[in-house]
Amino acid sequence: MWPAFRALLIGMLALAGPAAAQTAPMDGQTFAILVGVSEFQNLPREQWLQYAHADAETFAKLLKSPRGGAVSPENIALMTNKDATTQAVRKAFDTVKGRAGKKDTIIVLIAGHGAVESAGDRAAYILTNDSDPQDMKKTALPMAEIQTFIGEGLSKVARMLVFVDVCRAGNIGSISNAAVNGVVEKLGDAEGEILGLMASRPREVSYEGPEFGGGHGAFSYFLLKALSGEADKDGDKIITASEVIDYVQQNVKDATRDRQHPREFGTLDNSTVMSDANKPGIDLSR
């Protein structure tokens, strides 16, 4: 179901023959690591999120549907809130890396808070449920580990899809830093076939609310809608990469009144098929 992507450096989308892209068969299995953290043991409640866990849960439902590729549940590592500890996420990375092979696809979705050390080397981290902001080096998930996972994984699998929404606004204030997006963007430099979408530009936060499908992040909601068929601009029921990217970027921009702008990294064929709206999907209505 998921198409092949040609990953180079961050740049313009490459063009390819549409017929070849739309008819090329997909071999191998799909493995997914889906992390959504709304609750944090060591953060005040006003800095918790509301819907990051729902983003990951709904994405899992989409992947299990025929429209999302009918991915086997045993191939989906879904971790939310109390189950999304640093150790659990690391274990999921190791398990998928050990199982996925040359013909397979790995999907990574991370929704939650990103943070950067205030001193020292100012390394970027993902805050898991049990991370301590006062000791991120020992308790949080370094972005460097995710870089390593993707770099090593690309040498062993056919392709990777990476969706990152880690600079999210809490109820009061936000935990965000441009350095997090900078590290994420470097994932596109890995050798291999990769497609990535980030929820926002550097220095922006990512918004969430009940207005997005009853409770989602803006980015995740419009990504889900795009893959579910709403991005079908030409009405042929085939959702291409360019349709997904255009739909997500435009709708997130409009819905947030020009305050949030998703970005892509890696390059791929504009005509690559992302989903087939002729197949049953999931209900995303409010």
- Residue 136: which domain range? 18-276
Q: What Rg, from alpha-carbon coordinates, does the chain have? A: 17
Residue 104: CATH number of its domain = 3.40.50.1460
Q: What is the mean pLDDT of residues 256-261?
A: 95
Mean predicted confidence (pLDDT) in 133-162: 88
- Burial class from Cβ neighbours inside 10 Å (0-12, 13-18, 19+) for residue 38 reads buried
Residue 4 lies in a domain: no
Q: Is residue 1 part of a domain?
A: no
How many structural domains is the chain composed of? Answer: 1
pLDDT of 179 above 50: yes
What is the rounded CA–CA span in Å between residue 67 and residue 15?
A: 24
| Whole-number pLDDT of residue 3 | 29
Position 7 pLDDT exceeds 70: no
How large is the average pLDDT for residues 29-48? 95
In this structure, what are the phi and psi dihedrals at residue 269, rounded to the nearest 5 degrees? -70, 135
Please answer whether residues 30 and 4 qualify as being in contact, where contact means their C-beta atoms are separated by less than 8 angstroms: no
In a domain, 284, yes or no: no
Which has the minimum average pLDDT: 83-92, 186-195, 200-209, 228-237? Answer: 186-195
Question: Nearest to residue 128, comparing CAs of 178, 93, 172, 173?
Answer: 93
Q: Position of tokens 């989906």?
A: 76
In a domain, 107, yes or no: yes
Q: What is the pLDDT of residues 82-139, one digit of tens each?
A: 999 999 999 999 999 999 999 998 999 999 998 887 666 678 889 999 999 889 999 9
Query: In this structure, is residue 40 part of a structural domain?
Result: yes
